Amino acid sequence: MQLTSVRFGAELPAWVTAELDTVDPLLPDAESRMRLVHRLARRNHVEGTGGPFAAAVTDAATGEIISVGVNVVLASGLSSMHAEVVALCLAQAATGSWDLGGAGRPPVELTVNWRPCAMCYGATLWSGVGVLTVAGEGDEIEQLTGFDEGPMRDDWREQLEARGVRVRLDVLRAEAVDTFREYGERADVTVYNGGGRGRSPRSHADREGQ
């Protein structure tokens, strides 16, 4: 038989490049990295290019930006294209290696505006990042946006630490919640939903993912 598809890909929305033009290529601390992620997450839903989720991959020490990602599930037509997967793939494309923790490389940090969903949790583990910094964890995200994080382990953080990924929690948490609330209050959002039955974000969270 002949396969219909043998290749696929995804790209950042054009507005991301414009947004980055005004950003310092060195983000010295966790707060400055998270501030960029919050800007991208908010603009992603305002621009209509995806859900209110963004990520950045930086040198953990210097804060040099290696890549950024936003959720492009709708734009790419691919359900795996969450912000973390996009940022990690772009960082690996930029460095030319599937292993961001490779020998001789400085430790790399993934900054995300909430705890990764079940898929992105595993994607983070396989990427080679040395630090995961999140604005927060908890069910505010599901209550405010309707997005499901999927079945996570209660010891998700210990499991990452045991595999050499340092986890930093609660960096600019309130700003993350503000963006989720703003998104949740919108009546006009296109909700991507693994069930595909045009459900509203708040009433049907199953199989969506952040």
45-104 positions binding a copy of itself, by CB under 8 A: 65-68, 73-74, 76-81, 85, 88-94, 96-103
Enumerate residues 168-197 that contact a copy of itself by CB under 8 A.
192-197
**Shortest distance, CB of residue 42 to a copy of itself, whole angstroms?**
19
CA neighbor of 135 nearest in space, from 164, 111, 166:
111
Does 125 help bind a copy of itself (rule: CB under 8 A)? yes
Buried b / exposed e across 94-113, counting CB within 10 Å, b at 16+? ebeeeebeeeeeebbbbbbb
| C-beta of 130 vs 173, nearer to a copy of itself | 130
**Does position 4 bind a copy of itself by CB under 8 A?**
yes
Q: Looking only at residues 152 through 171 of this chain, which bind a copy of itself when binding is defined by CB under 8 A?
A: 153, 155-156, 159, 163-164
Nearer to a copy of itself, 84 or 175 (CB): 84
Dmax of the chain from CA atoms? 53
Q: Which is nearer to a copy of itself, 123 or 176 (CB)?
A: 123
Number of residues that bind a copy of itself (CB under 8 A): 78
Shortest Cβ distance from residue 178 to a copy of itself (Å)?
25
Q: Which is nearer to a copy of itself, 26 or 61 (CB)?
A: 26
- Site for a copy of itself (CB under 8 A): which residue of 35, 47, 107, 119? 119
Nearer to a copy of itself, 154 or 188 (CB): 154
Q: How far is the CB of 72 from a copy of itself (least distance, A)?
A: 10
Q: Which residue has the tokens 């002949």?
A: 2
As beta bridge partners, residue 198 has none
Q: Could you give the CA distance from residue 9 to residue 50 in angstroms, rounded to a whole number?
A: 16
Cβ atoms of residues 58 and 64 within 8 Å:
yes
Give the position of tokens 């993350």: 176
Under rule CB under 8 A, residue 29 binds a copy of itself: no
173 three-class SS: helix
DSSP 70: E
Token code pair at residue 107: 């430790």
User: Residue 39: enclosing H or E segment and its boundaries?
Assistant: helix 30-46
